[in-house]
Structures are given as C-alpha cells and as structure tokens.
Amino acid sequence: MQKRLRSLALMMLSLIGLTAGAQMNKVDSLAQLIDHRAANDSVKADLMVQLAKMLAYSDPGRAMKIADAELPMAQQLHYKTGILGGYNVKTSLLFITGNLQQGLMVGEEFLRAANQFHSQAGSITANSLMGIMYSQGGNYAKALEYMLASLKIAEQTHDQSRISALDQNIGNVYNDMEDYDKAIGYYKNAITITETLVPPTPVPPSLYNNIGSVLIRQQKYAAAIDYLEKGKEISQQTNNKRSLAGALTNLSDAWHNLGDDEKSYEYGRQALAISRALGDKRSMANAMINVGTAINDVSDKTLTDQHIDPKDRSTLAISTLDSAIQMASTIGDPATKEEAYKELSDISEKQKNFPLAISSLRMYNHLHDTIVNNDNEKSIMRKFIQYDFDKKAAEIQLQQQITEARLKEQQLLSHEASQQLKINQNELSLSNKDRDLQKLAAQKEQVELMKEEQKKRDIQTLANQKDKIQALEIAGQRRLKYGLIAGLLLIGAIGILIYRQSASRKVANQRLTLINGQLDEANRVKARFLGIISHDLRSPVANLISLINLRKEAPDLLNEEGMAYGQQKITDTAENLLYVMEDILLWSKGQMVAFKPHIKALSIHSVFTEMQLLYAGNGHVRILFSNPQNLQINTDEDYLKTILRNLTSNAIKAVDGRPDALIEWKAWRENQQLACLSITDNGPGISTTQRAALFNNEADIGIKHGLGLPLVRDFAEAVNCTIEVSAAAGGGTTFLLLFREYNN
C-alpha cells in the first residue's frame, strides 16, 4: 500500500494569524462592541479584523462581509494597520473558500499595499499567501518564486517563527513535485528552527507526519515509523485530531509493509474512528483500505474481541474495500480509488472469486494508467520549471554582458560621433518639412471628398423624408379602420369575461373545499408526528441524562469496569437516539404527498453485512443472517434499511433478558416476481396492540407505543411491500416481508 496521504500545512495559522476554533461567547461579545461603537475609527477597524479572523473557519461568509465593510473604512481613514489587516483576512478567506482566481487578484493588491507602506511583515504574509494559492493551482514555479521572496524578507528580519512556517510550505511544494529529498530537507530545517524558538513552541505534528509519508514512498518504513510515532504523540498532547488521524493511517500503512497486520489493523481502526468523527472522507477512505486489507490476515482472537465472526472476515474485507472505493469516488480521489481496487483484486483472488478479481484488476489498470500519465505530466512540468530557472539565470547573465558592452561603447564615443549626431539632426529636420507639405496636401484632398459625401447624404435624406410622410398617411387610415374593429371586439370580450368570471368563481369554490380537506389531513399528520416525537425521543434522552448525572454526581459508586460499561452505554444510547431522529425525519418526509421512494437494484448481502456491523456489540443476543441465494431486490435503500433496523431493534427488546436470546434474518426468492425477507425471534410473542399499530392506520400510537411498527407499516406500503406476522405456540414472533415487482 503506497498511500498518498500526508498532513497538509499549506495554510499555516501561525503565518496568517487566523483563529480556527473561536469561542462563540467571544464572537458575540466582540460583535456587540462593534455594533455599539458609533464612530468609524481605527479601534473599530481593529475589532472588525479580529472578528473576521475568529469567524474564518466557522462562518467564512459572515467573515467576508465584515472584511468587505472594514477595508473601505480603513482606506478612508488612511489607517495602515487596518488596510493591511483587511487585505490579509480577505485574501485568506478567498483561499479557504477555494476562490483561487479572485484570491490571487486580492493578494496582488495586498502585496502592493504592503510595499507602499514599507511593511516587511505584510510583504512576508502577502508573498506567502500568493505562493500557497499558486501551489494549490499546480503552478509550482510561481509558487516557489513568491515563497522564496517571502523567505528572503523573513531571513532579513530574523523572524524564526515565520522562517519555520515558510520552510514547511516550500517542503510541501517540493513534495507535490515529488522531489522528496528537497522536501525532507525543508521539513527537517523547519523542525530544527522551531525547537530553538524562545519562548519554546511545540513542533507542528504535521511536519513529522509529512516526513513519515515521504519515507514510506521511499520504502524506508522503520525510519517512517519513528517520525510518525513522534507526530502521533504531539497530536495527542495538543488534541489535534486531524493530524492524529493522518499519523495513525500512515502508521497502519508502514506496519502492513513490514508484515505486522495486527498492528496495521489496530492503527487502521483507530484512524477510521477519528476520521468518521471529523467527517474527513479522504482519511476515512484511506483508513478503510488499511482495515479491509489487514482484516484478512489478523488472528481469530482479534476479530472475536471486536464481536466479529472470523468466518465473515473475507466478506467484511470486501465490503470495507468497496466502501473505500465509493468514498474515493465521492471526493474525486483517483489515487486512493486505484489502491482500493488493487487490494480488492488481491483479496478476491485469494478467495477464488475470479470474476470480482478480474473486474477489480481492470479498474486498477485503468486508474493506474491515468495516474501514470499525470505523473509523467508532473515530470515534464518539473523540467519546464528547471528550464525557466536556467533561462532566467542566462537572461540575467546576458543582460549583464550587454550592460558592460554599452558602457564600453559609451566610453568610445568621441567628437566625431557628436558631429555625426548633428548631421543626422539636420537631415531629420529637412525630412520633417517634406513630410509636413505632403500632410497638408492629403488633408486638402480629404476635405473635398467629405464635401461630396455630405451632398449625397442630404439628397438621400430628403427622399427618405418624403417616403415617411406617405407612409404616415397610409398608417393613419389603417389605424382608423382597426380602431372601429377593436371597439366591436372589446364589447364582445367584455361579455365573454362576465361569463367566464361566473364560471371561475364556481371552480374556485370547489378548490377551496379540496384545500380545506387537505389542511385537515395535514393537521392529523402533525398531531401524529408530535405524538411519535414525545415518546421516541423522550425515552433515549431520559436514559442519556440519567447515565451522565450518575457519572457526574456519584462517580465513587462505579468501579473501572462500571465506568467503562457506563461510557459504552452512553455511546450506544446516543447512537440509538441518532437513528431514531433519522427514522422520524425520513417518516415525516414519507407523509408528504410529493415525496416518493427512489427505486434501484439493491444487494441484500451488503445490507446484511452493514446490519451485522451495526449490531455487533449487542452482548449475549445472537443475530444470524442467512442469504443462500445472494438475493437482489428492486426497492429504496433508505426505506429498506429503516424497516430492517426497526424490526431488529424491536426483536432485541423482545428477547432482552433471555439467556438463549436468538434473532435470525433470512432472505430468499420464491419466484421471479416475489422476493422474501423474514426475521424470527424467540421472545414472548407480539401483542394485540402491536398488531393493531402494524395493520390499522387508525390505531393510536400516542406516547405509549412509539414509532417502530407504524413506521414499518408506512414504509412497507411506500415500496410495495406486504407484511405478514405469525407467532409460535410456545412464544416467538416471525415477520415476513414480501416484495413484488415495483411500479412507479
């Protein structure tokens, strides 16, 4: 696995001064200060710049409006600090929001203002931002030009903190250009400078992560692990979740290449959990590749500890790699997608699933060829960049030689050259007189031509006016005739309008009656929806509050095992609450007349795999999944998953407390038109009230019976699914879902 994942540090917060996590109370206080300050002065400008920085990441749109208001005010006041601060914030916000073209234009204005005010700090920041934006756009030659200019000024001012940040940014540019030796050199120099800063400043973990990523590409895995472990340690100390996820992903990659899949699997799982919490899809996709690759070779005990049946390792590996492919497609990352297809082909071949292995290999080869072509383009670009540098150096040398030659030529000027100059001036004077005479003759000829053209235009104008008079007379006669006709038509139209007004009034009354009926139905759905919320959200929220209060008010009552159990219980309760809220939202949308399910071919195997992972931690309750025919059905994916999840949750509640608790899902096809899914539990059996909620639209679900079965009923009707319920004599319940051919 050759990851292309590294910790990006192009936008160094220490370089531009933006605050990534501003507290809301500080934001509100600062906004009130600005609103209460009536006068437009330098203090108000400084406050507006500070507020825009605090909102840069949390609300960039609002921050841009503040910057757009502050900059003209500072320019009107001729306030140097306010002007430079406004340009800094505005350029940075355009980069953050991905508007590079406009960002480059504002950055140029920022740089001109910094040079005009002779501000070295402003010039450093402006040049750095220009370099960052050119690098982001792939123009590495321009990026290096601006970054090296910024570095030169920083070295003149002996600003070690800025020099360190600039070294890291320059290292990133060389890393993108795949010049790894230069990249590592700049990264290490940035670390050395940071370690000597006074007062002491922590080294950014992204530096260690970037070096580790480069060493993995160079197949120096042991050295890479040393740097990545250091980056992981600093990320944990500074609570930098994003850098921590990057370090763990690269560690998983390195340990896999060293043959230790146990460590690779563990680091991959940790990286995947953090990436999911951050919502970082790129990190999630890379972590899924590590987990899916390592899970095929870890021990049975490792999987059992994670509540995973070792027999399912191959299925889970393929499912995880398939999820990585889908995630990489969503974010447009061909390199990660290529790697996922390669691992999927290898695992499928080991399982003797040759059709999947061949199709995955074809996709890998296609993506690999595309990426190789891109790499070739990068190589050509590096040669062009080197050519530009060599060309510029040669031009400077040539200019120097020309300047020296001109100096020698000036020294050789003599009195003869001066005399020749006077002769040339006299000849030029005579030549100018001849040219003036020719010019006068040409002007005279041009005046005569203009007079002739004017006469022709006057004659044509008189003819045109005569034609217009005749046309106006004819048009007047026509207007009189048309006016009489229009009067008759108007009288007829008034009669028709009176008749149509009477008819439309009747239609409007009918529409009002229909709308009143629809409003009554909407009120009924609203009352039903509020009843569902009062029950299904009250219970999990109450449980969550009780568990949190227990930890807060009586922590001594819980030992370490109890604390761990409580923490897991809080997590499970919160996750269940999230699923309930998603189901309520989907159900409420389902009650809308215009809302329709999206039907597509769906593999029951992938749905069962996701359900197995979702309910892997249910303790003593055994949940079995049987799909011998590898069933596929045409239905809405979200509706089906909501139905299965609610029936599974109800079954878990039904078997709760039984030592032999068992739930079994089955899938089969009886004929071409009928697909079947069933869930069976060994609980006490379904009650009369629950049956009424499932089959009777008028049954009261109120605050006692919850959302589950009514939601299952409504969703089943929406996707043309029939539900049958049976109960065994000795206890236990079976729900049978029958899917027929769906017609839109």
Average pLDDT of the residues of the chain: 80
Task: With a cut of 50, say whether residue 251 has pLDDT above it.
Answer: yes
- The tokens for 84 are 């430079």
Asked if residue 315 is part of any domain, the answer here is: yes
Considering the chain, what percentage of its residues have pLDDT values greater than 90?
28
User: How confident is residue 118, by pLDDT bands cut at 50, 70 and 90?
Assistant: very high
Residue 478 lies in a domain: no
* Stated length of the chain: 744
487-546 pLDDT per residue, tens:
788 888 887 888 888 788 888 778 888 887 777 766 765 666 555 555 556 666 766 787
C-alpha 218/C-alpha 211 separation (Å) is 11
pLDDT confidence band for 263 (50 / 70 / 90): very high
Q: Answer for the pair 285, 333: CB distance below 8 angstroms, yes or no.
A: yes
pLDDT at 27 over 70: yes
- How would you class 401 by CB atoms within 10 Å of its CB: exposed for 0-12, middle for 13-18, buried for 19 or more? exposed
521 occurs within a structural domain: no
pLDDT at 434: 59
What domain range includes position 327? Answer: 273-412
Does the residue 350 lie in any domain?
Answer: yes
Is 286 a member of any domain? yes
What is the pLDDT averaged over residues 206-213?
90
Predicted TM-score of the model (pTM): 0.46
- Output the pLDDT for position 92: 92
Residues 142 and 289 occupy one common structural domain: no
497 domain residue, yes or no: no
Q: Which residue shows structure tokens 């079995």?
A: 624
Asked whether residue 570 is domain-assigned, the answer is no
Q: Looking at mean pLDDT, say which of 227-231, 280-284, 670-674 comes out highest.
A: 227-231
**CA distance linking residue 456 with residue 47, whole number of Å:** 71
Q: For residue 484, with 0-12 CB atoms within 10 Å meaning exposed, 13-18 middle and 19 or more buried, which class applies?
A: exposed
pLDDT digits (tens, 9 = 90+) for 319-372: 999 999 998 888 777 878 888 898 888 888 888 888 888 888 888 888 877 766
Place 647 in a pLDDT band, splitting at 50, 70 and 90: very high
Which has the closest alpha carbon to 282: 7, 56, 94, 57? 7
Q: Are residues 151 and 292 in the same domain?
A: no
SS3 703: coil
How far, rounded to the nearest angstrom, does the alpha carbon of residue 689 sit from its chain's CA centroid?
Answer: 46
Q: How high is the pLDDT of residue 734?
A: 94
Residue 459 pLDDT > 50? yes
Number of folded domains that form the chain:
3
Q: List the CATH number of the domain containing 402.
A: 1.25.40.10
What band does 125 get if pLDDT is binned at 50, 70 and 90? very high
Tell me: pLDDT of 132 over 80.
Answer: yes
Please check whether residues 142 and 285 belong to one and the same domain: no
What pairs with residue 739 in β-bridges? 675, 721
For residue 374, pLDDT over 70 is answered with: no
> Of 158, 180, 196, which marks where a domain is finished?
158
- Is 72 within a domain? yes
Residue range 341-356, pLDDT digits in tens:
988 888 888 888 888 8
More confident residue, 205 or 460: 205
CATH of the domain at 700: 3.30.565.10
- The answer to whether residue 9 scores a pLDDT higher than 50 is no
> Which of 158, 174, 208 lies at the terminal end of a domain, its last residue?
158
Contact 89, 63 (CB under 8 A): yes
pLDDT of residue 593: 47
For residues 154 and 279, state if they share a domain.
no
Asked if residue 256 has pLDDT above 80, the reply is yes
Question: Of 158, 177, 212, which marks where a domain is finished?
Answer: 158
